[in-house]
Structure 1
Amino acid sequence: MSTPADAGAGTEHGPGPQTVDRHGFWLRTLRMWDLVFVGLTALYLVAVLTEVSTPADALLPAGAMAVLVLTYVLVGRRGVVRGDTRRVDAYLAVLVVVVVSQVALADIGPVLLFLAYVQIWNLVRTRVAGVVWAVALAVGCTVAEALRVRGTDEQIVEIAAQFGSALLFAVALGLWITHVAEQSEERAYLLDELRATQDALAASHHAAGVVAERERLAAEIHDTLAQGFTSVVMLAQTASVELERGRSDRVAARLAGIEDVARDNLAEARALVAAFSPPDLQDGTLADALARLATRFTGETGVRVEVVDDAGDDLAGREAQVVLLRAAQEALANVRRHAAASHVTLRLARSGDEVVLEVADDGRGLPAGASEGTGLRGMRARADAAGGTLDVVGTPGDGTRVRLRVPVRPAAAGTTGPARTDAP
């Protein structure tokens, strides 16, 4: 569990996720290691008290352990919390001195190696530092034990072998624990990154959804309410002209037209608020809705609109029908504003697994280099959303043809044949 001491420091492995929050990792497990320290210290003191013959013999070991505890609380632990490397190193030096002195004083001293090795591998900054401190502790304890027993050469070799074996085990265990801890830290870091990425992606999707919904509503308003209000304005202007000329009977007809358009707009507004399909589609087929649209358009503009239904009744779902109806509305609005046409044909046809809506007029056509306006861009966006395509072809002086294709389900048996409706 190397290196709580300095957060974010690199290791011999180089920078990476496992080095991002070492200090944080130590702080998260600090209480557990405090309990380990208290438990091992208490265990050692109990062992000392059971070994000594008089209380006076326990004063020196107890005093040394008191120094170790105070140093840990005032220096080592604070160094860990603050990420102060010098405090941690100072505590480790005191730890090595206390353990070596205990080994030099009594047979029970080597018990402290459990405490010392655990703290070394939990406080050092790198694997190399852990090995260095562990070797220093093992060498110090070997010398202290040899001096205490004043052993022969054979005894010194045996002591060195014992402490060397403990050192190898401690180093191997420490390196393995460090590796496991770093893997855990890396997994925690990657999980945090994944959560952050998921949160950012969710926020992005939400923002995109908000923008898409705004664009959809803008297209709905443009294709319905805006066009309806344009009709109201044109009918009102016409009524004013008729009124100035004293043609009261025609004024009444224009006012009736204004009332009809206003009612239709009100129904469209309510449908938008309630997120329903267009009112024209609630009371009949798409061909019926196109026929009513053609009738209103002819009444408002005087342009004859012919509706030809070669597709039958088995069309796409309601959403695709909305796309087709809105396209027809927008195409007629463009005819009203730009085409100066006298005749328009709205044709529904089947082509394989697609239904095709074609709006053709005999107006002035498209000028060379003409750019798409808001209406055509909205139609193209609707077509894309429905999985279809939109083509606009126009030759100056030879009319314009708008063709929209959207996918449909296979035709059912017994589909009705073509029907033709001419608006008055």
Structure 2
Amino acid sequence: MSLFWRMFLSNALVLVIATALLMGPWVTVSNPVLMREVLVIGGGLLALLVTNALLFRLELAPLKRLTRAMTDANLQEPGQRIRVIGRGELAELTETFNVMLSRLEAERTASSGRVLSAQEAERRRVARELHDEVGQTLTAVILQLKALTDHVPSALREEVVTAQETVRDSLDEVRRIARRLRPGVLEDLGLTSALRALVAEFSRPGVSVGHQVDSSLPALDAEAELVLYRVAQEAMTNAARHSGADRIHIELRAAGTRTVLLTVRDNGSGLVGTEEGTGIRGMRERALLLGATLTLTSDDSGGTTVRLRVPLPAEGAA
């Protein structure tokens, strides 16, 4: 029965009962109206209003639950669905909302995948240009300054050597940026070697970076390895640059037969009072591509723990 007919018939039933009471010998009205008749009619009106209120609340409760679920829906936390109760228009509306939510999640995942793929392609292009164009130009400048050192007066030789060292430092910085944009180690040697190179990159005086990689990791495809690497890179960047941490630990291990767990811990300032920036939102977008679960927590003593739980496809589990 539709919502309209349920509400109409419930009100009609209340009105029929009230009419029958008025027409029967149980309720009579005098002229002028007596006080006891006023009490009877007022009590009947109150009962009618209460009954209608209860019936409306009962019938519209699923709508309230659906509204609350629509308000709380978050595409960054997929899988949230409303339980369909009963049949009729409200059940159809709930089912339609669940279907719409599934479609939005699929479209968001697909669009995020296209955006991230384009971003990775742009990273590779910029890294290649930095390495081939800027890197070669700076190398040529270093060679020219080195050749010039033997022909300048001794009073200027120290300045030329200083300029040569400055250009060499700039070349090292360009190469470092190119490696961060395009992880060649990941493509050539795999995820384990790429994570070790990442640990070596972030290790510096005053910052201790440790790592533990499970030697029995299941086989991962290129997309999963790239997501794991980028999340680890972003988590370590946040820890080193923004949280003031001096200890960072990264761990990659198998959590069961069909799940890989990446954990990055630091002893920095934590997440209290901070808002999610583009880096964390980027990590969540990458996690959605794999159907992975990303959680960020802070300890009571400070520090942040980033966990990425990546499920393996059926063929990978075997």
Q: Which category of TM-score, normalised to the shorter sequence, fits these structures?
A: 0.3 to 0.5
Structure with the bigger percentage of helix: 1
Could you tell me the TM-score, scaled by structure 1's length? 0.36
Could you tell me the TM-score, scaled by structure 2's length? 0.47
**Computing the radius of gyration over CA atoms, which structure comes out larger, 1 or 2?**
1
